[in-house]
């Protein structure tokens, strides 16, 4: 069976992370992604691990977009494509001669996706920005605090990654509509807007949902004997009951949704219970109990976990070590092809 996006060609002008992650997700589902890079390459190449992760199996074409000949080459590529992805500041692609309206002249049904920090319009659209700005402005960072109430710097670039997911979703939706109507689209993906959408329920409950924030004993993170951690997420009473009975502590049943504070004796007992065994034991125990208990894995452990390995294969990432393209490896072949098309 052919991959879901077999036959879809994407011209990707984006750098660093959000755009490449979006197109990587589409490449994993069978799309042909042609990465257009400047003569010096995508600056993301200076971060080899990130570049490897989000540019697997793509093709690389070097085009100098500061030259008229380069713009003409890019337009020829686009004329034979289905999707364009770009992540420059608003207006840059138009200045180059590659904006949506300009591209439509050579490819009327193009799906054109613009990713930016603050969207194509609005009071901050022209400002410089990065991931930390988006998680800050969206309010998401305020929900990750230390014991003193200070925001904690995330180790992951959440907005870049989630924005990439949102972009790939929007692109596939637009392709579906084009299949039915023949119409292209200009997709405006604001990374701040995407992060703000994750905070939608805070509009109606500004304090958030306390029991999802580690404030109750049945939905919390606990330390194990070897200094590792497990996550207990027994929200439903039946799972809490399984946990308590498997622990031999039916007297804990009455503590369902009780506060995870030092003043709660059951909370203190559960903490001691988890500190009685190492992480590996708890992982096996949790599977047997089926009470929503999982280990907190470190990055180097994730890819060896049976469930993760299975899931990655199911979404088309069965070859995470696939080669990334050498800079400009496909320039000659692809540009010669467009000349023949002309």
Which amino acids are annotated catalytic? 130, 160
Residue 83's SS3 state is strand
Residue 189's SS3 state is strand
Cβ neighbours, 10 Å, residue 123:
7
* Torsion angle (degrees, nearest 10) of CA 224, 225, 227, 233: 0
Q: Cα separation of 142 and 124, whole Å?
A: 21
Contacts of 161 (CB under 8 A, 6+ apart): 17, 18, 21
The DSSP line for 56-111 is TT-EEEE--TTSHHHHHHHHHHHHT-SEEEE-SPTTHHHHHT-SHHHHHTT-TT-E
The partner residues of 61 in beta bridges, in order of sequence, read 36
Number of Cα atoms under 13 Å in the Cβ half of residue 55: 29
197 token code pair:
């959408």
Q: Cα separation of 39 and 64, whole Å?
A: 6
Q: Cα separation of 5 and 26, whole Å?
A: 7
Nearest of 24, 25, 9, 172 to residue 77 by alpha carbon: 9
- How far CA 162 is from CA of 130, 198, 213, 227, 299, in Å, comes to 14, 10, 21, 30, 18
């Amino acid at each position: 069976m052919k991959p879901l996006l077999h036959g879809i060609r994407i011209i990707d002008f984006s750098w660093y992370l959000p755009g490449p992650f979006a197109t990587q997700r589409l490449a994993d589902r069978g799309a042909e992604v042609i990465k257009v890079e400047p003569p010096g390459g995508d600056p993301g190449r200076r971060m080899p691990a990130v570049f490897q992760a989000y540019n697997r199996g793509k093709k690389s074409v070097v085009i100098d977009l500061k030259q008229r000949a380069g713009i003409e080459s890019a337009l020829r590529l686009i004329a034979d494509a289905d999707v364009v992805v770009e992540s420059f500041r608003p207006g840059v692609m138009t200045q180059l001669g590659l904006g949506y309206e300009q591209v439509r002249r050579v490819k009327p049904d193009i799906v054109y996706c613009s990713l930016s920090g603050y969207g194509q319009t609005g009071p901050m659209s022209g400002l410089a920005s990065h991931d930390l700005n988006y998680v800050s402005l969206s309010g998401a960072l305020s929900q990750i605090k230390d014991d003193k109430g200070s925001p904690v710097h995330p180790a992951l670039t959440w907005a870049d990654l989630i924005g990439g997911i949102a972009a790939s979703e929007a692109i596939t939706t637009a392709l579906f509509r084009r299949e039915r109507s023949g119409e292209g689209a200009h997709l405006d993906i604001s990374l701040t807007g995407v992060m703000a959408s994750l905070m939608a329920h805070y509009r109606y409950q500004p304090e958030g949902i306390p029991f999802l924030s580690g404030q109750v004993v049945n939905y919390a993170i606990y330390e194990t004997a070897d200094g590792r951690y497990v996550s207990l997420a027994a929200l439903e009473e039946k799972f809490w009951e399984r946990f308590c009975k498997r622990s031999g502590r039916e007297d804990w049943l009455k503590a369902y949704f009780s506060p995870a504070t030092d003043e709660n004796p059951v909370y203190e007992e559960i903490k001691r219970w988890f500190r009685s065994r190492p992480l590996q034991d708890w992982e096996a125990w949790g599977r047997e109990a089926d009470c929503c208990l999982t280990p907190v894995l470190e990055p180097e452990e994730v890819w060896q976990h049976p469930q993760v390995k299975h899931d990655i294969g199911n979404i088309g990432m069965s070859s995470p070590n696939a080669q990334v393209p050498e800079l400009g490896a496909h320039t000659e072949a692809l540009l010669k092809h467009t000349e023949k098309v002309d």
